[in-house]
Amino acid sequence: MGRLDGKVALLTGGASGLGKATGDLMAAEGATVVLSDIQEVEGENVAAAIREAGGACSFKPHDTTVEAQWERICADIMEEHGHLDILLNGAGIGGSGVELIEMELDTWKRCLSINLDGVFLGCKHGIRAMLQGTGGSIINISSILGFAGIANSSNYCASKGGVRLLSKAAALECARKTPRVRVNSIHPGFIDTPMVAGAIQRRGPEFREYIENNVPFGELGEPLDIAEGVVYLASDAAKFVTGSELTIDGGFLAR
């Protein structure tokens, strides 16, 4: 028995990092997994690897900032599978590494568009689809930087703080609906994915030192650490959990 047997899951940002690790784990737990991403070749490869390992998985190209693409992907899933039970809003980009007083408005808007507008659209269309079935669970990936600020990432912090409270508002709107839809946020600390590798490369060794000095565990987390939290919130074991914030950060926010 898998923890997600019989459930259909849509994972945005499924071609890489946290989304990819979550796709692996969800398929192993019995879910039918639909990965979506703007990286088509990578997404197809990840889906093929999951199928080779015995899982049920497909890939669909999908830009989460475009509402028409949300309408299409949800309609396709309803037609192909009959229901949508889990949505991971995982697609996102990192901060700019630029001081606020030097930041171009377009740089600000791009981050907010992918990290916040995309999650809003996901909640809107994901909830609509889940209400046509037997309800479901939406997991929005925020960040420790949805609680704490960091210099040179004001756009990222604003987007992730927005995801945190968007999730709570959506959870309250859904709490008395029938069927029930739960909405929660996860707040990863620094996790070893291409996004963080890129930030370390761009910002230099001081950024790695910042992480090692400020994370109580003194190291990066693994994508699987986050995937385990997503699977818990997606599963029926979390049936009484909504509007909550699951922090998985090696102790960062405990300081």
Residues designated catalytic? 156
- 198 or 204, CB closer to ligand NAD? 198
**Window 189-218: residues binding ligand NAD (CB under 6 A):** 190-191, 193-196
Q: Is 172 helix (H, G, I), strand (E, B) or coil?
A: helix
Query: Degrees (nearest 5) of the Cα angle 112, 21, 223?
Result: 75
CA end-to-end span of the chain, whole Å? 39
In angstroms, give the least distance from the CB of 113 to ligand NAD.
Answer: 8
- 136 or 221, CB closer to ligand NAD? 221
146 vs 128: CA distance, rounded Å:
26
45 binds ligand NAD (CB under 6 A): no
The CA–CA distances, whole Å, from 233 to 106, 141, 199, 205, 249 equal 34, 12, 28, 35, 17
Q: Are 23 and 49 in contact (CB under 8 A)?
A: no
Total number of residues that touch ligand NAD (CB under 6 A): 29
91 binds ligand NAD (CB under 6 A): yes
Q: Which stretch binds ligand NAD (CB under 6 A): 2-10, 15-23, 131-139, 164-172?
A: 15-23
Of 10, 16, 81, 138, the one binding ligand NAD (CB under 6 A) is 16
Q: List the alpha helices (DSSP H) in 9-153.
A: 17-28, 40-52, 67-81, 105-112, 118-131
- Residue ranges that bind ligand NAD, judged by CB under 6 A: 12-13, 15-19, 37-39, 62-65, 90-93, 114, 118, 141, 143, 188, 190-191, 193-196
